[in-house]
Amino acid sequence: SSTGDYTPKEDVCWTTKMIRTITSEELSVEAFYQNYTTEPLIIKGLADSWEARRWTFASLRERCDETLMMTLQFKKQEWGNLGSDQWVDMDTFTRYMEGGYQEEEWQQRRYGFDYNIIDRCPSLSKDFKVPKYFSHCLLQKGERENAASELDNIRYFWPTMMAGPPSTRSEVHYDDDGLPFWMALLSGKKLFRVLTPEHNPSLIEPRDVDEGWPGLDGAPTSSIIPGAFHHPSNSYGFEIFRPEAYVERYPDICNLVTHEGILEAGDVLYIPNSSPHGAVNLEATIAITANYASPWDDVQMQYYADVCEAMPERDLCGKLSSEKPSLSSFREMDYFEYAGYTFEKWCQDRLYRTFHFLLLTTITQKSFSTHVRSCVHKNTVSMLVYIHVFAAFRRQ
């Protein structure tokens, strides 16, 4: 199925603004936080030098073959119109991405979503960087001795990997806590549509209900099309890639201002706080993405201050600080420097935890060694000890 129906249309009644593009050479950290945090932004070619730009589905299969990828299909009334969770191994998923989807209608195609790189295939973490603009994140700071066991908390493991065939998409949604995010596209092309509160003031009008996405003032918010945007499941009846079908029912759609842009391989996208957005893959894509909370983002920090005043027990509240790191300390970082952890400590914890888990299961020795083999070059002795003990256990 062609994606032609989901490219810009002249007959869409809303106002369309193209997402601003800039190069990293033109954009300092200071300029980013002073001038660019309220609108989406594409930083051209920022990821071009990363080794991850060489990832292919074949190389992912070789390096991460027995790990699992969660896949989703288009499903209305679910978050982002994505549902029907199905876990598949990386071998199956990558072969599917190499062409197995071609006979399927776009609604049946499976979108690989939020693959936890650092837990499932940590060797990939050496191949990408956290861009300097996003290198101080409150969600990644603080005590991390327990990080290897907190596998149910995806925040400790951003960025994650996404991969999908042409026409797979996430429909209009907002992210947890209204967090901003960045995405580096490693291969393919991806179309984004974004609604920012700055250009859509009605998105932040107070409501007399508890539901609603976080607004700039931290309060539950309204929409100029509340019937379309507010569903109990955080999904939306309105489809940002097929809006013409909803204009008669929700005529105020025509008052929206939508930012639109195509992300190309090597580009990095930024989407600001509390901005509903949707994305459609124009080609088969591989990307990494992360939400973040920067201490230099005053809007987001005020939102969290309000949240923590009401719910001080939240883990995040202990990480808030009135002190801001120097802008000169923002620099491109590898994952472990960014996370305040080390590769060695991660592998030690991961090997220990994986070994003890496997003693209680029927997983094969091959699966065990595959799952943690990316730690070998940093922890050769530990790895050999664990494999020999595990092999001896299996012989009993």
- Residue located via tokens 């990386």: 90
Handedness of CA 278, 230, 238, 255 (dihedral sign): negative
For 40, phi then psi, to 5°, come to -65, 155
Q: In angstroms, rounded to a whole number, what is the distance separating the alpha carbons of residues 96 and 394?
A: 33
Q: Global pTM?
A: 0.82
pLDDT at 362 over 90: no
pLDDT of residue 4: 44
Predicted pLDDT at 163: 98
Helix/strand number for the chain, H first, E second = 10, 14
pLDDT for position 141:
58
Q: Give the pLDDT confidence score for residue 234 in this predicted structure.
A: 46
State pLDDT tens for residues 293-309: 888 887 777 767 776 77
Task: Give whichever of 220-224, 290-294, 384-388 has the largest mean pLDDT.
Answer: 290-294
Contact criterion met (CB below 8 Å) for 191 and 279: yes
Question: What one-character DSSP code corresponds to residue 241?
Answer: T
- Residue 209 pLDDT level (bands cut at 50, 70, 90): very low
- pLDDT at residue number 172: 83
Cα gap 133→333, rounded to integer Å: 10
pLDDT in tens, 225-234: 333 444 444 4
Between the CA of residue 242 and those of 81, 188, 343, what are the distances in Å?
13, 22, 45
CA angle 174, 322, 176 (to 5 degrees): 15
Please provide the distance, in angstroms rounded to a whole number, between the alpha carbons at the two ends of the chain: 54
Phi, psi torsion values for 199, nearest 5 degrees: -100, -5
What is the Cα–Cα distance from 191 to 8, expressed in whole angstroms?
A: 10
* Three-class SS state of 113: strand
- Please give the average per-residue pLDDT across 192-199, as a whole number: 88
241-258 residue pLDDT tens:
888 777 777 777 788 899
Residues 6+ apart with CB under 8 A from 208: none
The residue among 346, 338, 193 whose CA lies nearest residue 261 is 193
Strand-pairing partners, residue 111, are 72
Q: What does the DSSP 8-state code read for residue 383?
A: H
pLDDT in tens, 102-132: 999 999 999 999 998 987 888 899 899 999 9
The predicted-structure confidence for 127-170, as pLDDT tens digits, reads as follows 999 999 999 887 775 444 444 444 345 556 789 999 999 999 99
**Can you tell me which residue has the tokens 């020795």?**
365
Query: Do 186 and 164 touch, CB atoms closer than 8 A?
Result: no
pLDDT band at 355 (very low <50, low <70, confident <90, very high): low
Within 10 angstroms of residue 294's Cβ, the number of other Cβ atoms is 22
Does the pLDDT value for residue 10 go beyond 80? Answer: no
Per-residue tokens: 114 = 């939020």
pLDDT surpassing 60 at residue 19: yes
pLDDT of 8 > 60? The answer is no
Confidence of residue 375 (pLDDT cuts 50, 70, 90): low
CB 86 within 8 A of CB 110: yes
Residue 179: exposure state from Cβ atoms within 10 A (0-12, 13-18, ≥19): buried
Query: Among positive and negative, which fits the CA dihedral 371, 376, 382, 386?
Result: positive
Quick check: 207 pLDDT over 90? no
Helix or strand (DSSP H, E) at 279? strand 277-281
Q: Is 363 a residue whose pLDDT tops 70?
A: no
Please give the pLDDT value at position 312: 77
Domains of the chain: 15-341 (2.60.120.650), 349-394 (no CATH)
Per-residue confidence band for 271, with pLDDT thresholds at 50, 70 and 90: very high
| Residue showing tokens 């007399």 | 208
pLDDT at 393 over 50: no
**Rounded distance between C-alpha atoms, residue 43 and residue 23, angstroms:** 5
